[in-house]
Amino acid sequence: MKREIFFVTGTDTGVGKTVLTVLLVKFLRESGVNAAALKPICSGGRTDARKIFEAMNKALSLDEINPWHFHAAIAPLMAARAEKRKVKLSQVLAHVRALQRRFDILLIEGAGGLLSPLGEGFDSRDLIVALRATPIIVAQNKLGTMNQVLLTLEALPKNLRAKSRVVLVSPEKPDASTKTNAKLLAEFFDPEKISLLPRLNK
């Protein structure tokens, strides 16, 4: 089986990336696929990483899932600097590639949106490009989402944009656009690569 990497990014923070990552890794593992999920970098606590840890029944340690974690609930780059620490792209790539050798499918959850700074001089887009990962863009299915999704897609290199997936997550309070966003987005992006996810308890 060809080893694959999927990178779960978002249009913003709090859009449902962890919920989707947990659902995917549980489904894959329960289906007999040798899969794992990582959240290499996080700030403001390790709650998301712990949810992934629990979903995999300890197939990886918490520190393998989440090697870099910082206390302040701000962009990881600034949270690391507040602790006088540095995260380099080469370090994250080395960690991911080492674990990739152990699994057929690796899911990687980013922090914040696609261009939110993760470390010194890099963001989720840089990781996606370096790993040749398939991007999964998560967005809240509400008014304003069209612009956010299209901007995120536009920010990806053309070859990665073409193989991206978009997941629209139902918000706590749906609005008039919740029923129409997927149809409208399909005028600009492959409808077969657009999925809807109902709101689930985190």
DSSP secondary structure of the chain: ---EEEEEEESSTTSSHHHHHHHHHHHHHHTT--EEEE--EEES-SHHHHHHHHHTTTSS-HHHH-SEEESSSS-HHHHHHHTT----HHHHHHHHHHHHTT-SEEEEE-SSSTTSEEETTEEHHHHHHHHTPEEEEEEESSTTHHHHHHHHHHTS-HHHHHT-EEEEEPPSS--GGGGTHHHHHTTTS-GGGEEEE-----
* 202 carries an active-site annotation: no
**What distance in Å separates the CA atoms of residue 199 and residue 58, rounded to the nearest whole number?**
26
Choose the catalytic residue: 2, 17, 26, 39. Answer: 39
Residues with a catalytic annotation lie at 39
